[in-house]
Amino acid sequence: MTILVTGANGQLGNEMRIVSRNSDERYIFTDVVDASEETVAMLRKLGGDDVPVDTLKLDITDIEAVRALVKAEAVDVIVNCAAYTNVDGAETNVELAELLNAQAPKNLAEAMKEVGGLLVHISTDYVFGKEPYNTPCREDQKGTPTGVYGLTKLHGEQNIMASGCKYVIIRTAWLYSEFGKNFVKTMLNLTATRPELKVVFDQVGTPTYAYDLAEAIKLIIERVTQVPEILNSPFSILNYSNEGVCSWFDFTKMIAEYCSHKDCNIQPCHSDEFPNPVKRPAFSVLDKTKIKQTLGISVPYWTDSLKICINNIYK
């Protein structure tokens, strides 16, 4: 089986490179640019010399390029890790966000439908947020995004569902890793260099270690291809984040504790103290009952995974 990964130089794409070492399947990693020297160095540190670092160039907004590569490489599965993820920037770059988050997934879905393949698409908790609630979001809950980013990601989901292809949409949240820019790496720096830091406590969710999500994706592909009738059940949208619940303040406190940054006075604050172009979801905890019961996938607790990631960054 040939599995094509888009957005391979992002956080999740790089973790997919690492987990692919333990797979018997053939993986192809694509992006619009090559992996940076820093990324390659981290891949080697975490995965050794056998981790794949080469990147095949592919623009997923070009449907003919997608079709050509799918046919040339006999692709059976696409894992779409590519997206426009700048939540604030999307408010002023609506067309680009729509192109990358809605049209590009439609292209991938159409290409997979033509060859009878499977599309695994990564979506977000930002498809929720407008309606007030305080219980974990389920897969069948209506999307109510608060900004352009969430709206374009919801459009991407809708385009995939309307395409007629075989698909699994995985909604995740608060993604972090050893790669690129993310909340954990930012807070590692800030708690080491600032005497005081204010972090919002009125936005609640669950962090997700990208490596854990990559492992889950690998298992989903294996189990769906082994038991294809699963796709005929109300299964094709799944939630995945780590277990547990926290605020951004709690998250920061744990980051500082695990790297022994004791000199920074971290204080909770309200989100309106840091005005943003987009109102973030106040409560976006994801209910993971379906992925655990349907596929038997275990989900690590968020603090356990955070320790692993921080250790990897510093080791």
pLDDT tens, 252-286?
Answer: 999 999 999 999 999 999 999 988 888 888 899 99
Q: Average pLDDT in the 34-59 region?
A: 95
Cα–Cα distance measured from residue 77 to residue 209, given in angstroms and rounded to the nearest whole number: 23
pTM of this structure: 0.96
Q: Which residues have C-beta within 8 Å of that of residue 50, sequence separation ≥ 6?
A: 21
pLDDT tens-digit readout, 195-222: 999 999 999 999 999 999 999 999 999 9
Return the closest-CA partner of residue 307 out of 248, 265, 259. Answer: 259
Determine the CATH number of domain 2-180+207-242+286-300. Answer: 3.40.50.720
Q: Average pLDDT in the 183-191 region?
A: 97
Cα–Cα distance measured from residue 93 to residue 100, given in angstroms and rounded to the nearest whole number: 11
Contact 123, 286 (CB under 8 A): no
Check whether 234 has a pLDDT greater than 60.
Answer: no
Which sequence positions are flagged as catalytic?
149
